[in-house]
Amino acid sequence: MSNLEITAVVRAAIGFWILAFAAIYMYRKTQLDVFRSDVFAIRDEMFNYMWQHDRPFDVEHYTHMRDTLNGLIRFSHQFDLSSIVLAAIFTRDDRSPSLLSMIEAIPHAEERAYFQAVYHRVAHRAWRYVMFEGSQALIVLPVVAVYQIFRRFRNHGFHFELPSMAINKLMAIGRVDSDEARLIRGCLGV
């Protein structure tokens, strides 16, 4: 092996390790920061709601929701699928009421609807973070994609929208008369 080939192999290995570091470490930290930022925003909106509607800040449903959001922010670096499963199995405490039952017991209908919406937004955001933004996304995303394809096939017959989406994308970026768009249109008979 010549020195030029060895240099190329070493450069490729260094590039691979830099990419691996960026993908594993930096991407994860970025996703963690985005998740925390989203939960901060929800918590701030909830505070503003209570303040604007002249509601006391010491009611049980507000303090419990705020503490839950603070816990999500504080411990989100440990928040993954395995920790959720283990927590669900080993931390059953039937003595304290659940957050959802506290929300259901709110006497004001508007406030109850608002807190239900906040609860569902937080649950949806946490679910997205755990399932689609961590390392398990490498398993979950292909499974979800296959499920979506089979569901569309079952509901609509064999009508696959990806070629139409590709043409629309090409048109949207201003390449209507490009060779690629003509080729796709010709293959699809559009």
pLDDT at 109 over 60: yes
Q: Is residue 19 part of a domain?
A: no
For residues 148 and 62, membership in a common domain is answered with yes
Q: Residue 82 has what pLDDT?
A: 73
C-alpha to C-alpha distance for 67 and 183, rounded to whole angstroms:
57
For residues 170 and 142, membership in a common domain is answered with no
Instruction: State the average pLDDT for the chain.
Output: 78
For residues 164 and 111, membership in a common domain is answered with no
Q: How confident is the model at residue 96 (pLDDT cuts 50, 70, 90)?
A: low
For residues 164 and 143, membership in a common domain is answered with no
Residue where the block lists tokens 């925390």: 36
Tokens (6 digits) for 3: 């020195």
Domain carrying residue 186: 160-190
For residues 59 and 106, membership in a common domain is answered with yes
C-alpha to C-alpha distance for 104 and 111, rounded to whole angstroms:
10
Whether the CB-CB separation of 68 and 97 falls below 8 Å is answered with no
Q: Residue 135 has what pLDDT?
A: 65
For residues 36 and 114, membership in a common domain is answered with yes
**What pLDDT, in 10s, does the model give residues 119-155?**
999 988 888 888 777 666 667 777 777 887 777 777 6
**What pLDDT, in 10s, does the model give residues 39-51?**
999 999 999 999 9
Q: Residue 126 has what pLDDT?
A: 86
Q: How confident is the model at residue 171 (pLDDT cuts 50, 70, 90)?
A: very low
Q: Quote the number of domains for the chain.
A: 2
For residues 166 and 97, membership in a common domain is answered with no
Alpha-carbon radius of gyration of the chain? 25
